[in-house]
Amino acid sequence: MSLIHNKNISPFYKALLQHKDLLIKVYAGEIGYTPEEVEALWEDMDHFFKNLSVSLEGRKKLWAQEAALYHSIESSFTLRRCGWGNILFVPPVNSIIPTLPIVITSAIAMGNSPFILHSRRCPQTFMLFRSICNKVMPEVVFLEKEDDFNIEKVFKDQQIDLLLYQGGSHHFPSLLNACANQGVYPILEGSGQTLSIIESGDDDLIKTYATKIAHSKLFCKGSICSSPNLVFIPQPYIKAFTSYYSNILVKKYQEKDGQISANEEQLGIKLNALIGDDWEKPVSGVITVNIQEAIKLLNEDLNGMVAICIPYNNIGEVRKLLSLYRYGLQISFYSSSSESSLYTELKARNNVSRITRNKLQIEQKSILPWGGYRLSGISKVQDYFEKFTKTITIED
């Protein structure tokens, strides 16, 4: 295919840079991140735009090689790639920056027309993006999510060809059904896992750690997060942690009657399928699994706002589990020690995109997207250029 270098892409990036401070301030306020954390996310977007031309040319060469190989095998056919057409993107709330500008640019570069579904949780952020796009990239359409929102009606009214949904996998069945009914190709990417590792501490520190994890921004500023936190805890502290965590969570969500138990029930169904029905649920908001059960859960998309606690006896067990994790890691690390070989080890790993130490020190690798190779824990495929094109064969 002929890759499209849209004349509006460069002005789009320039406009984003002109509004950088305002975008960071507004998004941080709405999502609950600090401005410094959003600044770290912005670096990933910078990296994408600065390497856009190289990425496009690299992809063009790979596709040309693919087409040549196919043509040599099936000489009566020619392989071509083309855009899908109209793409509906449902972005993840926790990484609108950098994901939204990257998706918009990638979709247009591949010759598609992007439609963006608003997030009710970040209305001002979306208003800013819509205002910027209206001026420099008017082909981008932002859709409001009304009270009577119906995804099938959107598919039909906007003549959508491809749905890219990034979020909780509990929506997958209904979305797949809607796509099948309207002939829309689905790319559904689940939320992945967030890991917290408690290496050492005393009773007071364990209470502090439980508070930080329960109020973590990874739990989406007090809303139900579609992905629970996997928490590694030394065996002696498991009872103290679960007690503190449960009390904090129940108090935090006491106005949301029934939602904790409802999400635990939903998560319980998935756990039963994966590891059997003998897992321990000692207190509300916390589920405890053993090391062998945890191995089966690491690479699964799980739903619910509970913490899944994994007690361990030695740090070697944590190392073993992390070595089995296939995707990018986003880790919160807690330790009373100023020196930690595991923390140093994790910083050096190439699939750790972001690691915080005691929720104070932040290590961000801008070369990796938010969430490492999984794009904020939501994508097993790094290349949006690949997603936004389809392969067709033309008979010679």
Flag whether 3 is in a domain: no
- Does residue 337 share a domain with residue 249? yes
What CATH code is carried by the domain that includes residue 250? Answer: 3.40.309.10
- Does residue 120 share a domain with residue 250? no
- Does residue 170 share a domain with residue 154? yes
Flag whether 206 is in a domain: yes
- Does residue 321 share a domain with residue 212? yes
Flag whether 150 is in a domain: yes
Flag whether 4 is in a domain: no
How does pLDDT run across 16-25, given as a tens digit for each residue?
A: 999 999 999 9
How does pLDDT run across 223-246, given as a tens digit for each residue?
A: 334 345 688 999 999 888 888 887
Write the DSSP string, 6-48. Answer: -TTHHHHHHHHHHTHHHHHHHHHHHH---HHHHHHHHHHHHHH
Q: How many domains does the chain have?
A: 2
How does pLDDT run across 96-154, given as a tens digit for each residue?
A: 888 899 889 989 888 899 999 987 788 999 999 999 999 999 999 999 887 778 999 99
Domain with 291, as residue range(s), is 194-374
- Does residue 160 share a domain with residue 117? yes
Alpha helices in the chain, H assignment, sequence order: 9-18, 20-31, 35-50, 52-73, 96-109, 123-136, 151-158, 172-182, 203-214, 238-252, 259-275, 291-297, 315-323, 341-348, 384-387
Flag whether 92 is in a domain: yes
Three-state secondary structure call for residue 309:
strand
Q: No. of H helices and E strands in the chain?
A: 15, 15
- Does residue 213 share a domain with residue 119? no
- Does residue 244 share a domain with residue 127? no
Alpha helices in 276-314, H assignment, sequence order: 291-297
Q: Which two tokens stand for residue 108?
A: 């247009």
Predicted local confidence at residue 168, as pLDDT: 64
Q: Percent of the chain beyond pLDDT 70?
A: 66
pLDDT at 251 over 90: no
Average pLDDT for 32-59: 77
pLDDT bin (cut points 50, 70, 90) of residue 10 is confident
Gyration radius of the chain's alpha carbons: 22
- Does residue 273 share a domain with residue 184? no
What CATH code is carried by the domain that includes residue 150? Answer: 3.40.605.10
How does pLDDT run across 156-169, given as a tens digit for each residue?
A: 999 999 999 877 66
**Max alpha carbon distance in the chain (Å)?**
73
Q: Residue 284's closest CA among 323, 324, 251? A: 251
Flag whether 128 is in a domain: yes
Return the higher-pLDDT residue of 23 and 194.
Answer: 23
Predicted local confidence at residue 114, as pLDDT: 95
Q: List CB contacts of 244: < 8 A, sequence separation 6 or more.
A: 206, 207, 210, 211
Q: Are 302 and 308 in contact (CB under 8 A)?
A: yes
What's the pTM value of the predicted model, to 2 decimals? 0.64
- Does residue 162 share a domain with residue 232? no
Flag whether 54 is in a domain: yes
Question: Within 13 Å of residue 10, how many CA atoms lie on the same side as its CB?
Answer: 4
Q: Are 101 and 16 in contact (CB under 8 A)?
A: yes
Return the higher-pLDDT residue of 283 and 326.
Answer: 326
- Does residue 390 share a domain with residue 333? no
Alpha carbons 164 and 186: distance in angstroms, whole number: 6
How does pLDDT run across 195-233, given as a tens digit for each residue?
A: 788 888 888 888 888 887 776 644 333 333 434 568 899
Flag whether 25 is in a domain: yes
Predicted local confidence at residue 300, as pLDDT: 65
Predicted local confidence at residue 4, as pLDDT: 46
- Which range has the top average pLDDT, 176-180, 268-272, 344-348, 380-384? 176-180
Predicted local confidence at residue 219, as pLDDT: 36
- Does residue 349 share a domain with residue 281? yes
- Does residue 216 share a domain with residue 183? no
